[in-house]
Structure 1
């Protein structure tokens, strides 16, 4: 709980409406308010007002009398009063507030529903059960203006021991909810609510495959990408055109492209998968090989042709290593001298995949002008660092060398574990290169 929640609780107790004291679309604001009101009331105790009478373990309010607040002088039956009572530390008061809230007209009850959802996970069974009954009766009538805040709170409360019941009610209601209610969640700001809404939208086939494909291709949330891609692919068949597949295949997100490439099999268009054999993503390349293999097309000969062509896609050497044989290492060694840095880097990575390591042949690549090539070379040489010359590695730490060469040399020296390593690290703790400073200090601490 922070000062913001405390201030919100104080303003609520003073009569300010809920919508003015918190951001009602933020689930954390609701749970923070619940805790803050509880602490506020606990440190400002008051006896129950005279319009409440105790009978056993319960409090019952006289007809038309408002629930209590921390300020006994406040007697107006407005929205802040029941909101405070729903968060009260005394379980008897929370229970009585829920029973009173059940009699409120729908327009007055709706702003309180997120607090009712919190009470559905209350530790006290006598509070939980009335809250669940109230939410179960109210949630089918919730409109787009209320569902975003309510769903966000319900999903946040699933982290608590008794929070699943409200989630079950929410999911059941959304499966039958009008389209605008579901659409409000899909465009809302709460991530968990959007994910749930998209899952239910796929179950209900709320959108066309084209709409799901467009959402998968553009949404930055990886979970939503998977959900929408599944919804789009479910509608793919032999008659499917580019209106579904094109957005998936053009997406900047690899998991979405992978779904699009896999869908080419269902669409009966395996030839188009060949263009993705050299995709920058390993997952997309694997999906392309799978689609081709389902139609009896082996990918290795296609990769060899790509690697021997005049224009070589950067990821083609690595793709060849992923499905080729150790005999392909000769072709990859030749590509370590290719003029394109991307081809050189992927050739080195491909040799590592094939478990072909020639320390003497790889060592000159530690001076490559391309950082990516040096990074892949260092990764390949780390298991063989004991075979490297410490004086040569130490010479590469000189400031006349590029940053990536110096950083790579220090990484190999650490892997080597030479006796003078601590001396080398001490010489670099004030180096002008931040990465070297950080790495040397981390090594000395360990």
Structure 2
């Protein structure tokens, strides 16, 4: 086999082919293709063809397993492999070499996998047949793709083979096909594979299912867990354990719902009380709902001061049925020396501006968590005073600073003009972020200057936001004139114009070549005022 040289078409040497077949080279090509454009995908095809040319079965399957481990890459490769470049280092379409390498089931695994993505439906159909003769876990993503093929004979053969494999040994083939199946679930003709996997899971034992549940991506675990719930493979103690300890929020929620439903049906309030003590709000709210259905309103009303909004809402509903005035409860709670943050939040949810007088003294509370919650509550009650909150913007707590900046954004025009710029130059990163937020919406010139300053910041998040804003402004000005919205216009004095040019020059390396050129053109075309 002859490989196109990277210099424009010269044949590669045997040493180059040998380098291409190294496992590290395959892994590097896969990593580059996962984030690269068509050139990287085409290079990956070249590397795989070079591995296939060696003829080693183990090496070919190992290389294919590296590709199959990334379902998103397999989908992109499937779409790209049929496109032959007309120029550059890959002038000979890879499809021609794939067709030459693949003959029948005696061909190498890589040749079969690549042939299954060929543009000719007859070759794809023969490749599917070959895969089914010599199946392997690393071949399954390519078989799943063909189960949704647009050509009926290819699709039917792939579906028949997929159904047969899943029915014969679900424990082996479900882990191999599930990542790609879930990736294609929303595609046209993609539902067949999902239904086949689900049917195969219904046929397997709970022991096999538990083994599959112990590994895989979060999306796969959620699919498996929901299927296990539908099959009632988990007893109540296991459901409670998953609800209290699982690392995935979706699995916790599904387990909590199933556990609470069974606890209500079987009259097990002890289970509901245990779940109601969970540190996870999504578990507590489901457990409290179950207690409400069991008639335990008094226990549920005790959660009026909970940190979670949904939990407080359920507790208030229970309190209403008991005749308890939740607003008076919150008013009393915020008047204590150590008010619960949940009570402050609850008062902001059902209180009015009159209640702001009860909250303002807490702005000087010793607890940063209380101060942050009070700032948020006053904002929700529409009781923000610009001068009062401006004095709080330098609070020692980053959480309080964030809440104050959020509360002051609608009132930025009432702040001292220099305050946001002073904050943007501060040594504390939370103050610089607050200053940048307060400068938002003050005009194109302010946005551009603030974005350029932020783009040079040492904080990665602030720098990324500044670069994004400057890029957006520069592209909006450089866009086509037929757009309906007007281009951004700079109205600056001569000194401000010079300052912007200096900032643009300093930020050129971090903005990128395209944005820097657009920005220079914009500033060059801008005529400064007096």
Superposed CA offset, 1:36-61 (max 9, x none): 98775533543986xxxxxxxxxxxx
TM-score (norm 1): 0.77
Distance 1:85 1:254, change over 3 A: same
Hey, what does 2:437 align to over in structure 1?
A: 411
Give how far 1:230 is off: 2.2
Residue 94 (structure 1) aligns with: 124
- 2:105 aligned with 1:67: yes
Q: Which residue of structure 1 lines up, in the alignment, with residue 51 of structure 2?
A: 11
Cα distance between partner residues in 2 of 1:304 and 1:294? 20
User: Partners of 2:461 and 2:78 in 1: how far apart?
Assistant: 45
Distance across 1 between alignment mates of 2:161 and 2:452: 67
How much has 1:434 moved relative to structure 2?
Answer: 6.9
Show structure 1 runs of 5+ residues with no match: 50-65, 71-78
Provide the aligned length of Structure 1 versus Structure 2: 416
Give 1:284-295 correspondences, 5 Å limit. 284-293=311-320, 295=322
| In structure 1, distance between residues paired with 2:466 and 2:131 | 63
Q: What SS is found at the alignment partner of 1:336?
A: helix
TM-score (norm 2): 0.66
Is 1:219 the counterpart of 2:246? The answer is yes
Aligned to 1:42: 96
Q: Which residue of 1 aligns with 2:152?
A: 125
Alignment CA distance shift 1:247-1:254 (3 Å): same
Find 2:305's aligned residue among 265, 274, 278: 278
Q: Which has the higher contact order (CA 8 A, sep 6+)?
A: 1
Q: Specify the SS of the correspondent of 1:235.
A: helix
Q: CA RMSD in A?
A: 3.9
| Aligned counterparts of 1:419 and 1:40: Cα–Cα separation in 2 | 51
Alignment partner, residue 176 of structure 1: 203
**What pairs with 1:87-166 in structure 2 (closer than 5 Å)?**
89-99=119-129, 109=135, 111=137, 113-166=140-193
Work out whether 1:381 is the aligned partner of 2:408.
Answer: yes
Match of 1:236 among 253, 258, 263: 263
Contact 2:131/2:143 (8 A) holds in 1: no
Matched with 2:507 is none
Alpha-carbon distance in 2 for matches of 1:397, 1:114? 51
Structure 1 residues 48 and 359: CA distance shift in structure 2, 3 A:
closer
SS at match of 2:57: coil
* 1:9 CA drift (Å): 5.5
Distance 1:40 1:160, change over 3 A: farther
User: In 2, Cα distance between the equivalents of 1:182 and 1:441?
Assistant: 48
Q: Give the match's secondary structure for 2:341.
A: coil
Measured after TM superposition, the shift of residue 299 of structure 1 is 2.6
Aligned partner of 1:246 in structure 2 is 274
Secondary structure of the residue aligned to 1:46 is helix
Structure 1 residue 128, shift from structure 2 partner:
0.5
Is the CA contact 2:147–2:158 (under 8 Å) kept in the aligned structure 1?
Answer: yes
Q: 1:435 to 1:45 in 2, by over 3 A?
A: closer
CA distance in 2, matches of 1:419, 1:263: 56
Following superposition, the deviation at residue 132 of structure 1 comes to 1.5
